[in-house]
Copies of this chain bind each other. A is one copy, B any other.
Amino acid sequence: MTIRDVLFGKPLPTWDERAEQLGVGPGIPIFGLDALSSAAYGPEAALTLLIPLGAAGIAYIVPISASVIALLVIVYFSYRQTIAAYPGGGGSYTVASENLGPFAGLLAAAALMIDYVLTAAVGISAGVGALVSAFPRLLPHTLGLCLLILLFITIINLRGLRQAGIVFMVPTYLFIFSLLAAVGIGVFKSITSGGHPAAVIPPPAALPAAAGIGVWLLLQSFASGCTAMTGVEAVSNGVMAFKEPATKTAQRTLTIIIALLILMLGGIAFLVRAYHIAATDPGAVGYQSVISMIIAAVVGRGPLYYTAIGSVLVVLALSANTAFADFPRLCRAIALNGYLPDAFSLRGRRLVYSQGVWVLAGLAALLLIVFQGVTNRLIPLYAVGAFLAFTLSQAGMVAHWLRVKGPGYRRYIVVNGIGAVATGATVLVVLVAKFIEGAWITALLIPTLLISMMAVKRYFDRVAEELQCTEPFNVEGLHSPLIILPVQKWSRLTRKAVEVAYALSRDVEAVHVCAEGEKNDVREEWEKYVLTPLRKAGLTEPKLTMLDSPFRLVITPIVNHVLAVQQENPTRRIAVLIPEMIEHHWWHYFLENNRAELLKALLLLKGNQRILIVNVPWYLKN
């Protein structure tokens, strides 16, 4: 039981894999957390933009939420079809690359990667935002809390999906039930009070209006509200993680997730209007999240409030988990196509694509640090990536049906076509409305990622081409190499190295770099310990070459000599023997010159195809 075992779980063998398959019950938290928890920041993001309108702005949340819900329904039907068509996992990347070509696929991949990173960052920052609403004293520690939660999620995900499901199920369901309960009570109170419920704890009064309503402001508010939809593609991306029949299970999961999300968004919009709740200035003193104000208004700050806010906090923070479930899978798919390094396609000790988990954690941490963990500053970067991926996925499905045809395909084309147009229009709206506030960062990152991935592919293709070989090996070329052996003075290590040299070849040259002020007895020792026994045995004598070193360097003269010998022998391989002492304690490393390490590194760097390096280690007993 090592520390790694405790933190990350014992390593799982590959055959343990089937056990990681999910039913609807655990599927909702794993793949729905992101989508569902968006309800906690999406409406608030829209409302924040309406602050300048004062009390008059509150009513606009209803049409804006209605538009978002309409878009959500379109996207839902579109993705149901995707799940059916791609039981092996129909993420935007797969669908776009298979149907629109590799370039569109990569574009979708880049958009999704950025989307996942933002999902992780926004989920965590919004969760911490809920926490500091309830406990304003924690406000100065926002960033630290964000990073702490990120660390926790990373560790859970490195342990693997199955436990992750169990850990996340309880808070997710608590969140769903408590939020829907508050919505239900609020709607009931509104109706029984004839549409004018009395708030248990009245929300802060809206500021006086500082601006008049305009199309631009509504567009911006809608663009922010669209973040409530992020995450709905997760199910289609991970169909293969569901229990058989995977397609049905996945579709059922998606339906439940979308239905719950619509209930929440609709309910929140209704209550915001009924209770006259205006957003407060994020990041400033006195900030309180919209969800916190709604629940406080409906049921007061009793035990129910703290239960609800507690589950909101946990779920929001853990919604980042959707990204942790999907980002590594996406990277793996890209890596299998050669656009990302191989390491992303290898599963770690717990059957998780660990490399992807680490990279996602690192990028999310970077975002959180740069934006100081404030959700509102991250929102403008969001949505662009998500909706671009939606668009490419739906457009890809249209192309898919055109190609595959099959019964009733025209109806499918219409559904996916509407999805593509609607989400494509949304991309443009979001990009324009949020460009200056931060969408430009996403707009810059997506092509950068795209180009990098294409460069990676080019690199691997070149390497593969260069290493490509269809010739059998050449039995003719089996000459033993010329051996070059750097020697200092006679020692057991030198003796071992000379024996190894003669075991490998009969052409041995020893080189000695003359150090300053040296009492030069190497020749004597060489004569006595090497040449004499060799002559007796009638074997070829090895050369002993003395190298001068006016600048007191030891390694460079040896490397230069090796290169010179290699030039003089254009057809032979040169094997450089490097005697090396291996320390038993790391601190001994600092006591030695570590010339062997340097010599190896420099030889590899300056060497060429005909130069081999042979390590002759000597293990010190102490």
Task: Mark A residues whose CB is within 8 Å of B.
Answer: 11-15, 341-343, 346-349, 456, 459-460, 462-463, 466-469, 471-475, 477-481, 490-496, 498-500, 502-505, 516, 528-530, 532-534, 536-537, 539, 550-552, 573, 575, 580-582, 588, 590-593, 600, 604-605, 607-609, 611-622
Contact of A532 among B349, B472, B481 (CB under 8 A): B472
Q: Is the CB of A621 within 8 A of B478?
A: no
Q: Which residues of B contact A499 (CB under 8 A)?
A: 473-474, 477-478
Besides the known contacts A13-B551, A467-B491, 12 further A-B residue pairs in the complex with CB atoms under 8 A apart: A343-B593, A346-B552, A349-B552, A463-B622, A469-B490, A469-B494, A472-B529, A474-B495, A478-B503, A504-B505, A582-B604, A582-B605
Assembly CA distance A553 to B441 (angstroms): 38
Q: Which residues of B contact A481 (CB under 8 A)?
A: 500, 503-504
Assembly CA distance A371 to B145 (angstroms): 34
Closest residue of chain B to A342 (Cβ to Cβ) is B593
Contact of A473 among B342, B516, B529, B591 (CB under 8 A): B529
Q: Which residues of B contact A342 (CB under 8 A)?
A: 592-593
The 4 closest A-B pairs by CB, nearest first: A13-B550, A467-B491, A613-B615, A475-B537
Q: Is the CB of B613 within 8 A of A617?
A: yes
Given A11-B551, A591-B456 in contact, is the A492-B480 Cβ separation under 8 Å? no
Q: Which residues of B contact A463 (CB under 8 A)?
A: 581, 620, 622
Name 12 A/B residue pairs within 8 A (Cβ), A-sorted. Answer: A459-B591, A463-B581, A463-B620, A466-B492, A466-B622, A469-B495, A472-B533, A473-B533, A478-B502, A478-B503, A609-B617, A611-B617
Q: Which residues of B contact A532 (CB under 8 A)?
A: 472
CB distance from A481 to the nearest CB of B (A): 6
CB distance from A543 to the nearest CB of B (A): 16
CB distance from A44 to the nearest CB of B (A): 39
Given A613-B617, A616-B612, A617-B613 in contact, is the A516-B347 Cβ separation under 8 Å? yes
Q: Is the CB of B472 within 8 A of A528?
A: yes
Q: Is the CB of B591 within 8 A of A503?
A: no
Q: Is the CB of A609 within 8 A of B496?
A: yes
Closest residue of chain B to A459 (Cβ to Cβ) is B591
CB distance from A490 to the nearest CB of B (A): 6
Assembly CA distance A19 to B188 (angstroms): 99
Q: Which residues of B contact A618 (CB under 8 A)?
A: 467, 609
Contact of A615 among B475, B504, B528, B604 (CB under 8 A): B604
Q: Which residues of B contact A575 (CB under 8 A)?
A: 504, 614
Q: Which residues of B contact A609 (CB under 8 A)?
A: 496, 617-619
Interface of A is mostly: mixed
Assembly CA distance A135 to B622 (angstroms): 58
Q: Is the CB of A590 within 8 A of B341?
A: yes
Given A347-B552, A608-B619 in contact, is the A473-B503 Cβ separation under 8 Å? no
Assembly CA distance A567 to B435 (angstroms): 67
Assembly CA distance A614 to B614 (angstroms): 4
Contact of A475 among B491, B504, B536, B614 (CB under 8 A): B536
CB distance from A386 to the nearest CB of B (A): 28
Q: Which residues of B contact A469 (CB under 8 A)?
A: 490-492, 494-495, 529
Name, among A530, A539, A580, A609, the residue most crowded by chain B CB atoms within 10 Å (CB to CB).
A609
Assembly CA distance A615 to B537 (angstroms): 31
CB distance from A256 to the nearest CB of B (A): 32
Assembly CA distance A605 to B552 (angstroms): 31
Closest residue of chain B to A467 (Cβ to Cβ) is B491
Closest residue of chain B to A516 (Cβ to Cβ) is B14
CB distance from A622 to the nearest CB of B (A): 5
Q: Is the CB of B608 within 8 A of A503?
A: no
Q: Which residues of B contact A616 (CB under 8 A)?
A: 612
Contact of A349 among B13, B490, B551 (CB under 8 A): B551
Assembly CA distance A430 to B460 (angstroms): 69
Q: Which residues of B contact A343 (CB under 8 A)?
A: 593
Assembly CA distance A530 to B478 (angstroms): 13
Contact of A504 among B491, B492, B504, B550 (CB under 8 A): B504
Q: Which residues of B contact A491 (CB under 8 A)?
A: 467-469
Name, among A342, A463, A500, A530, the residue most crowded by chain B CB atoms within 10 Å (CB to CB).
A463
Assembly CA distance A504 to B505 (angstroms): 7
Contact of A614 among B496, B516, B612, B622 (CB under 8 A): B612
CB distance from A379 to the nearest CB of B (A): 32
Closest residue of chain B to A13 (Cβ to Cβ) is B550
Assembly CA distance A468 to B477 (angstroms): 40
